[in-house]
Structure 1
Amino acid sequence: MMYLSMRRTAAAGAAILLAGSGALLAAAPAGAHSAQPTRVDVSAAPTAEPAATPAAPKGKVVSRLPLSIREQPKSASTFLGALKPGSVVELSCKKHGQKVDGNDLWYLLAVKPGYVSARYVENLSPVPLCKK
Structure 2
Amino acid sequence: MHKIRVNHRVTTVLAAALIAASGALAATPAVADGAPGTAAGSVSAVPAALPKGKVVSRLPLHIRERATTDSPSLGVLQPGAVVPLSCKVHGQNVDGNDLWYRLGDGWTGYVAARYVQNLAHVDFCRR
| 1:50 Cα offset (Å) | 4.3
After the TM superposition, which parts of structure 1 deviate over 2 Å for at least 4 consecutive aligned residues? Answer: 47-53
Task: State the match for 1:79 in structure 2.
Answer: 73
RMSD after superposition: 1.3
Query: In the TM superposition, what are the counterparts of 1:48-87 in structure 2 within 5 Å?
Result: 50-87=44-81
Total equivalences in the alignment? 86
Larger CA Rg, structure 1 vs 2:
1
Query: In the TM superposition, what are the counterparts of 1:4-23 in structure 2 within 5 Å?
Result: none
Identity percentage over the alignment?
Answer: 59
In structure 1, list runs of 5 or more residues that go unmatched.
1-46
In structure 2, list runs of 5 or more residues that go unmatched.
1-40
2:70 corresponds to which letter in structure 1?
A
Higher helix share: 2
TM-score, L = length of structure 1: 0.61
Query: In the TM superposition, what are the counterparts of 1:1-132 in structure 2 within 5 Å?
Result: 50-110=44-104, 111-132=106-127
- The answer to which structure, 1 or 2, has the higher relative contact order (CA under 8 A, 6+ apart) is 2
1:128 corresponds to which letter in structure 2?
D
